[in-house]
Structure 1
């Protein structure tokens, strides 16, 4: 038989519905034959045999679909022999219809399988692109523990315009979380350019201000050689963060991004910049000087970085998601548990429809184990 296809669960195994539908064509043939044999009122059930190959085409390949059609024709011929002692005109007519439907269903199955394979290849490319552009973060870098939640808005996409990265450098752990303006492949291209620059400059730049300047220069150069004007005009909001290994503080630099949230048992506090800075790739239009904020960040302290896919999510009444208010009730949870609560609550709040990419990164100072 042809290798079965159909809907798969996220882990790559056939879904329960698919498993049931795979058996349905054979079950339909058996039940039709049984009902016809047990009928005492002259009611004929062979008309249901026509549906068998059509049903098979939804989850099986062309070969199995034709095989199901052949079984249906054999069942119809057997019905004629049992009832009339011969395969008469009525049976031949039904078999002709089954044959025609089987050919059409086999063609539809072949087209469906080809499209499913193409989609599988696209998903494979998307997964590879995500691993190259948005690499998985380790659970810990030095004394900094990390937890991430990322979801692209496009249903079949693995990557969008939101970006993140964390690297351990001689200056401490440096992080970036950003959001490229717009959607689609141009936004992904810009995100890739920005991340490539960050991964290179994060090790060499002496300060976050120098790092931001280098990211700005990199995006400007990217804009000069961008394939389309749309790509060249894209900008990105971003949060840069540096967590030194040897002292209980952290440095933040905000380029037009939603303010990070400091989490501790006392509550949630937003860190707003003293002087607002423009997004990256817009500094040439707005005179600005990069300024860094210093915040206490000792053992047990956590910071939550997020994109506007979280803060600007709306409910059915158009109200924005109350992120800080929700987080205040979860400060006692682990970072992984907090992200689970946030994901579930955000999905429920927005009705399950993601209008924008979502990225949430939690960085926590490790608490040393007691003696």
Structure 2
């Protein structure tokens, strides 16, 4: 939005419902005309003026408060006009109908104003949360070293609460390291923890040689931060699930460490494999000195694709409460390149949940440069 764009003209247009087609106002206007004509043509003992209250009520469903008040004023005028026809209407009926139209117009206009105000506030919260999330969770480049990379962040339908899903990619002197994680919780606290983990990973990944040592360092930093910010009265454990992948520049296997995170999927040799590594506890549980991280090697050849995601994918439910069957759907995809894999995942996920995610979700797919086939889709 350009500076000065949100001025009085914009506010008035919003109140009038300018974001809707102007032709929509033709319906309540036609309704008023139809009721007046029907009242004029009806027998003398039939009075239809009370139906004019429908016009402002209908208008409030799609237009702003000013447009609703304008339609209400026209309805009042039409009510008065029908009372002046040759067959007079009892004055008490005219007054009662006029008061009813006025009161209903005022109530629905107020309700519409409050609804628009709430929508504006929610929109502002969403813009702030998106800006904060984008400042922390920068989009991954399409190419990182010898890898083609495709990332995706899907926000839940209610985006007022910032999620703790995260991902990052860092180059070392001989490899590329990728991180995907999910901080427990929502809001500013989760975003702060996510920012901490991302910052530590970006700083430490290029200089710490071993992947296990890197994961231990991340665990130590997350545990220290959790201990510093924890309140004595809190009994809930705060932790972060994470997976780290290292892909060497030279041909060779990829290394993976999974700390309580969703298992990665690997398309290798025409099959989709679940990288079911030895289970490690999540980061931040304060188990310093009592745990070690040992990476597991997976063959990662030319056409292979690794898919990483958060539990916003695997725990997404359909209207009947069934979880998204990631492994089953993945076996049906065309694993031509990271872009096609992420596109198929998004399509199947949205079909499963009918468009409304219950939780934020992050996805990263990687493949060696020049290995991808053309997408038949």
- Fold shared by both chains (TM-score > 0.5): yes
**Structure-1 residue corresponding to 2:283:** 280
Note the C-alpha offset of 1:115.
1.4
Instruction: Answer whether contact 1:81 1:87 (CA < 8 A) is retained.
Output: no
Instruction: Answer whether contact 2:223 2:286 (CA < 8 A) is retained.
Output: no
Distance 1:49 1:156, change over 3 A: farther
Tell me the alpha carbon deviations over residues 55-108 of structure 1, each in whole angstroms, 9 at most, x when there is no partner: 333443333222221111111222223444799543333222212222223322
**Structure-2 residue corresponding to 1:224:** 227
**Structure-1 residue corresponding to 2:79:** 76
Mapped to 2, the partners of 1:350 and 1:286 lie a distance apart of 42
| Structure 2 residue matching 1:112: 3-state secondary structure | helix
| Structure 1 residue matching 2:124: 3-state secondary structure | helix
1:3 paired to 2:13: yes
Q: Report the RMSD for the aligned CA atoms in angstroms.
A: 3.5
Note the C-alpha offset of 1:271.
2.4
Distance 1:350 1:118, change over 3 A: closer
**Structure-2 residue corresponding to 1:243:** 247
Instruction: Answer whether contact 2:16 2:66 (CA < 8 A) is retained.
Output: no
Mapped to 1, the partners of 2:179 and 2:65 lie a distance apart of 49
1:260 paired to 2:270: no
Mapped to 1, the partners of 2:130 and 2:184 lie a distance apart of 22
Instruction: Answer whether contact 1:259 1:271 (CA < 8 A) is retained.
Output: yes
| Structure 2 residue matching 1:173: 3-state secondary structure | strand
Q: Which moved more, 1:184-193 or 1:250-259?
A: 184-193
**Structure-1 residue corresponding to 2:333:** 330
**Structure-1 residue corresponding to 2:116:** 113
Alignment of 1:298-309 (within 5 A): 298-309=301-312
| Structure 2 residue matching 1:268: 3-state secondary structure | strand
Mapped to 2, the partners of 1:132 and 1:231 lie a distance apart of 31
Distance 1:248 1:222, change over 3 A: same
Tell me the alpha carbon deviations over residues 246-279 of structure 1, each in whole angstroms, 9 at most, x when there is no partner: 3343222222223222113521122233x54321
> Structure 1: where are the runs of 5+ without partners?
8-12
TM-score, length-normalised on structure 2? Answer: 0.81
Mapped to 2, the partners of 1:167 and 1:6 lie a distance apart of 50
Tell me the alpha carbon deviations over residues 166-218 of structure 1, each in whole angstroms, 9 at most, x when there is no partner: 23343432211112234455433322322222222223322322321221222
Instruction: Answer whether contact 1:256 1:276 (CA < 8 A) is retained.
Output: yes
Determine which of 25, 28, 51 is the counterpart of 1:25. Answer: 28
1:156 paired to 2:164: no
**Structure-1 residue corresponding to 2:39:** 36
TM-score, length-normalised on structure 1? Answer: 0.82
| Structure 2 residue matching 1:145: 3-state secondary structure | strand
| Structure 2 residue matching 1:278: 3-state secondary structure | coil
Instruction: Answer whether contact 1:314 1:321 (CA < 8 A) is retained.
Output: yes
**Structure-1 residue corresponding to 2:275:** 271
Instruction: Answer whether contact 2:266 2:304 (CA < 8 A) is retained.
Output: yes
Count of matched residue pairs: 362
Instruction: Answer whether contact 2:16 2:64 (CA < 8 A) is retained.
Output: no
Q: Which moved more, 1:70-79 or 1:44-53?
A: 44-53
1:233 paired to 2:233: no
1:138 paired to 2:148: no
| Structure 2 residue matching 1:284: 3-state secondary structure | coil
